[in-house]
């Protein structure tokens, strides 16, 4: 297994695999209500068997080059993650996403981790467009999209149901030439 440092604070990005199911479930239990406000991950990881199945689905996506999932560890503890929910390498597009438990909020971990996976998708896999879909009510995730240099493409009105309520979903994206130009400006 590998770990990618996310800065000089000891945070790391590592692949999440089915054998991490117990650790992922414990992480979900620490942040279930917070994580579940805007995304269905907390529901998908409701018990050990469901969590293992969820991670197995991403192992299969990785094997078929149609998705990836990575955990963010801080202070030796799994505190969040980033993923490519979908990847269509022949079409050059991928949809990235993230989650974080409350104890890790405000440290820039998601932004740093998302930069790593977006850079990998563009530079190693040849992805041309990386998309970020986010509830309009999820201000922290929208802020991440902005910090990543993404452009707001539009809003899918009343697109999904979360907690019994319809929510608008904003679509943000960055194209490979924009990503490369922003990296050169750093």
pLDDT of 184 strictly over 80: no
User: Which of the two residues, 67 and 164, has the higher pLDDT score?
Assistant: 67
User: What CA–CA distance (Å, rounded) separates 36 from 102?
Assistant: 12
pLDDT of residue 2 exceeding 90 = no
Nearest-10 Cα torsion for 140, 142, 145, 146 = -100
- pLDDT score of 67: 97
Query: What pLDDT digit, counting tens, does each position of 135-178 carry?
Result: 999 999 999 999 999 999 999 999 888 888 899 999 999 999 99
Q: Which residue has the tokens 């979908």?
A: 86
C-alpha dihedral, 180 to 90 to 142 to 178, nearest 10°: 20
| Predicted pLDDT of residue 52 | 97
Please give the sequence-ordered ranges of beta strands (E in DSSP) within 119-150, or none if there are none. Answer: 129-135
For residue 69, pLDDT beyond 90: yes
Average pLDDT over residues 39-47: 91
**For residue 112, pLDDT beyond 70:** yes
- Where are the extended beta strands (E) located within 16-164? 68-74, 77-88, 93-100, 129-135, 151-162
**Proportion of the chain above pLDDT 70, given as a percent:** 98
Residue 55 has pLDDT above 80, yes or no: yes
Q: Which CATH class is domain 10-185?
A: alpha beta
Percentage of the chain lying above the pLDDT 90 cut: 83
Strands (E), the chain: 4-5, 12-15, 68-74, 77-88, 93-100, 129-135, 151-162, 165-175
pTM for the whole thing? 0.93
Model pLDDT for residues 14-27, shown as the tens digit of each residue: 999 999 999 999 99
The pLDDT, as a whole number, for residue 40 is 85
Among 142, 93, 100, 120, CA closest to 4: 120
- What is residue 8's DSSP assignment? T
């Amino acid at each position: 297994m590998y770990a990618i440092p996310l800065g000089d604070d000891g945070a790391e990005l590592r692949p999440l695999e089915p054998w991490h199911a117990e650790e992922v479930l414990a992480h979900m239990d620490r942040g279930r209500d917070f994580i579940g406000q805007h995304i269905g991950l907390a529901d998908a990881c409701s018990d050990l068997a469901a969590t293992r199945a969820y991670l197995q689905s991403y192992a299969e996506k990785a094997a078929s080059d149609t998705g990836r999932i990575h955990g963010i560890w801080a202070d030796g503890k799994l505190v969040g993650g980033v993923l490519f929910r979908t990847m269509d390498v022949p079409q050059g597009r991928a949809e990235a996403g993230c989650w974080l438990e409350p104890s890790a909020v405000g440290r820039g971990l998601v932004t740093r981790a998302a930069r790593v996976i977006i850079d990998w998708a563009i530079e190693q896999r040849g992805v041309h467009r990386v998309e970020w879909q986010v509830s309009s009510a999820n201000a922290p995730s929208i802020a991440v999209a902005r910090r990543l240099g993404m452009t707001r493409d539009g809003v899918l009105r009343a697109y999904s149901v979360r907690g019994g309520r319809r929510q608008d979903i904003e679509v943000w994206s960055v194209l490979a030439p924009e990503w490369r130009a922003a990296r050169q400006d750093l």
